[in-house]
Amino acid sequence: MKRKLLTVLMVLLTATLCFASGAREIADDETIVKVLSIDVEDDGVYRATVLSTDGTVIVYRASEEETVCSVPFEQIHVGSVLAVKDNGIMTMSIPAQMWATEIRDITLGVGAGAYDITFAEPEGVYADVIAQESTGAALWPMSVADDLESRFSYSYAYDLVNGYAAQGVVFRGPYYVRGIMDFWNGSEPLTPLQSMAEDVNLYIDTIFMNGVAETTGPVPSSMDEIEAISSFDDISQRFSYAYGYASAYQDYMSGITVDLEDYVNGALTAVYGGAPLLDEDERSSSITEYVEHLSEQYLAYIEQMAADNLLSAENFLEENAGVEGMVVTQSGLQYEVVREGDGARPTMDDTVIVNYTLRDIDGNLIESSDGSEFALSGLIPGFAEAVLNMNVGGEVIAYLHPSLGYGENGAGAIEPNSLLVFDIELTGIVED
């Protein structure tokens, strides 16, 4: 089951490489604005009071019939950053009013740093509007505890979602975090693992690569609403769930642990363009501190593993030395002869042909190979010494102290200070 999980989710995660980096550039005929207020009139026309980058306050009018919008109008909120095209006709009122012909919501891209945009401060009554403006779609009250795991979890999730947003990836918030929650809680996923990979690929092919405008979906009213999700209505929801699940899995495989509530809060804040509870410097320092903490934990773990393995190896070799027929060399190599050879004996300058099997102290197979050619001068000391004591046609079982193998660093699947057990058959010596 673990192997299947790894295989399917690695396929899923590999699909992320299909996302193009960067964000769509601002066109010359687009005006960048921040929403100060928005309401809808009886006739269905939306009226948005906005602030342009030069500090000018404008009222844009828009409707579903007359305006092309990259997101549903109800997804635009106070604090949204928009790229707007207009009809070029401005009223003489204060503030001036114009009709928007096209609206593109770039809030997530701005939050992710994909656009370098600043807004000048307005004067007069609108200065008060700015001071009181909301900082994104309304979510329930959130807070972040001061402990490292909480700060890291919130910061990492917030920056991660904004990083995706910079690539044009938009999540349906509730489904994205539900996928994350289901993985960390060990819950049965809402869709089979294989289906997750298929959903991601389908989304990339039909939505993302075709530049189809996406939305974050309605803002969830509570965690209860998210936990009550039991099915999907469209591929966007399925994609968001699968991506959240896979992201959590990737974090788990990297040794990351999170405070789930803070992680979810950070993700949702980013998805819906809310003001982060930690500023950029606080998020950066929290992530750096956590990485340092993780590194210290890993080094301590490796050091303890090396010490335990060394003790186990030396205890084993001490007892093994008394086995009948066991040969113990001056270096500490131990080997027993399975079959004497009657051919030539190699020297350190030779390249030999061997069949071998490598196992660990518990007898678990690590590696095996037949007909391998090795220059003895390039092998680990214990293996080379064992072969130098053999004649072609012979076979031995060699027991290598860690110092004669890969030592305290280990290698690949071989843990630091591992005892190595080789079954070696010398089948030939390569002639010059």
With cut-offs at 50, 70 and 90, classify the pLDDT of residue 54.
confident
> Percentage of the chain with pLDDT > 70?
88
CA distance 298 to 317: 28
Query: Do 118 and 109 touch, CB atoms closer than 8 A?
Result: no
Nearest to 177 by CA among 140, 229, 113: 229
Check whether residue 214 and residue 246 sit in a common domain: yes
Lowest mean pLDDT segment, chosen from 21-30, 49-58, 181-190, 345-354: 21-30
CA distance 72 to 60: 16
Residue 193 lies in a domain: yes
Nearest to 250 by CA among 148, 157, 150: 157
Check whether residue 190 and residue 236 sit in a common domain: yes
Residue 149 lies in a domain: yes
Residue 341 lies in a domain: yes
> In the prediction, which pLDDT does 305 show?
95
Last residue of a domain, one of 278, 309, 338: 278
Instruction: Give the position of tokens 């060394």.
Output: 310
Last residue of a domain, one of 105, 124, 151: 105
Check whether residue 13 and residue 144 sit in a common domain: yes
Check whether residue 68 and residue 162 sit in a common domain: no
> In the prediction, which pLDDT does 86 show?
92
- Other C-beta atoms closer than 10 Å to the C-beta of 229 total 18
**Domain count of the chain?**
3
Check whether residue 13 and residue 143 sit in a common domain: yes
Query: Do 272 and 137 touch, CB atoms closer than 8 A?
Result: yes
> In the prediction, which pLDDT does 108 show?
67
Query: Do 257 and 149 touch, CB atoms closer than 8 A?
Result: yes
Beta strands in 53-91 (DSSP E): 57-62, 68-69, 81-86
Residue 177 lies in a domain: yes
Residue 315 lies in a domain: no
Residue 320 lies in a domain: no
CA distance 277 to 311: 49
> In the prediction, which pLDDT does 121 show?
65
The answer, yes or no, to whether residue 22 has pLDDT greater than 50, is: no
CATH number, domain at 345?
3.10.50.40
> Percentage of the chain with pLDDT > 90?
57
Last residue of a domain, one of 278, 293, 315: 278
With cut-offs at 50, 70 and 90, classify the pLDDT of residue 153.
very high
Check whether residue 71 and residue 196 sit in a common domain: no
Best-predicted range by mean pLDDT among 4-13, 92-101, 381-390?
381-390
CATH number, domain at 59?
2.40.50.140
Q: Would you say the pTM of this structure is higher than 0.75?
A: no
Residue 416 lies in a domain: yes
Pairing, β 96-105 against β 68-69 = parallel
Check whether residue 82 and residue 210 sit in a common domain: no
153-173: average pLDDT? 88
pLDDT in tens, 234-248: 999 999 999 999 999
pLDDT in tens, 369-382: 999 999 999 999 99
Check whether residue 337 and residue 380 sit in a common domain: yes
Check whether residue 157 and residue 251 sit in a common domain: yes
> In the prediction, which pLDDT does 4 show?
39
Check whether residue 77 and residue 166 sit in a common domain: no
> In the prediction, which pLDDT does 19 show?
43
State which residues form the domain around 96.
Answer: 27-105
The answer, yes or no, to whether residue 8 has pLDDT greater than 70, is: no
Residue 50 lies in a domain: yes
Query: Do 248 and 263 touch, CB atoms closer than 8 A?
Result: no
Check whether residue 148 and residue 8 sit in a common domain: yes
* 280 vs 126, residue with greater confidence: 280
Q: If you compute the radius of gyration of the chain from its CA atoms, what whole number of angstroms results?
A: 32
Check whether residue 255 and residue 400 sit in a common domain: no
